[in-house]
Amino acid sequence: MFTPRGNAAQAYSKVGVETGVEAASPHQLIVMLFDGALLAISNAGLQMQQQNPAGKGQSISHAIDIISNGLKASLDKDKGGELAQNLDALYDYMCNRLLQANLRNDKTALDEVSRLLADIRSAWVEIAGAPAAQSATTSASASAVA
């Protein structure tokens, strides 16, 4: 009748994430993507230290997937103009660095991408917290990533 405790915890965790996604604003969803990518990169670093190439590869693949199919795919290049184009190129660079990190066991590359993502995440959080009556420049910046 009841699931084992571990399964219940996993189910609860999954529901919590799904509820968070359903209730999140577009800005919060982007922050969640940044958080997911940062967590995957952190996990890849741990797997690298533990000499677990399969786990490292899975974590790096997950980070690349979030960057490519989440962050990069969410860019509005028509409204975002040059900023969106620059972010697109930066996301490509990050994915290439993550591939190099995987192939060469390069912790420095993981750290570099993590810093870049953390910087963009910080700016995104700042934009999300800004008052609605800001200049058109800020609005254009926000639409570049949305």
The more confident residue out of 26 and 49 is: 49
For residue 20, what pLDDT is reported? 61
- So where are the chain's domains? 27-128+137-145
Residues 57-95: pLDDT tens digits? 999 999 999 999 999 999 999 999 999 999 999 999 999
Rounded distance between C-alpha atoms, residue 9 and residue 45, angstroms: 26
The more confident residue out of 143 and 86 is: 86
Nearest CA-CA partner of 104 in 60, 146, 65, 39: 60
For residue 74, what pLDDT is reported? 93
pLDDT category of residue 2 using cuts at 50, 70 and 90: very low
CB atoms within 10 A of CB 35: 13
CATH class of 27-128+137-145: mainly alpha
Rounded distance between C-alpha atoms, residue 141 and residue 14, angstroms: 32
Residues 111-130: pLDDT tens digits? 999 999 999 999 999 987 76
Rounded distance between C-alpha atoms, residue 29 and residue 54, angstroms: 28
Q: What angle do CA 54, 43, 52 make, to 5 degrees?
A: 30
The single residue listed with the structure tokens 């999300």 is 128
pLDDT category of residue 10 using cuts at 50, 70 and 90: very low
Q: Is the pTM of this model over 0.95?
A: no
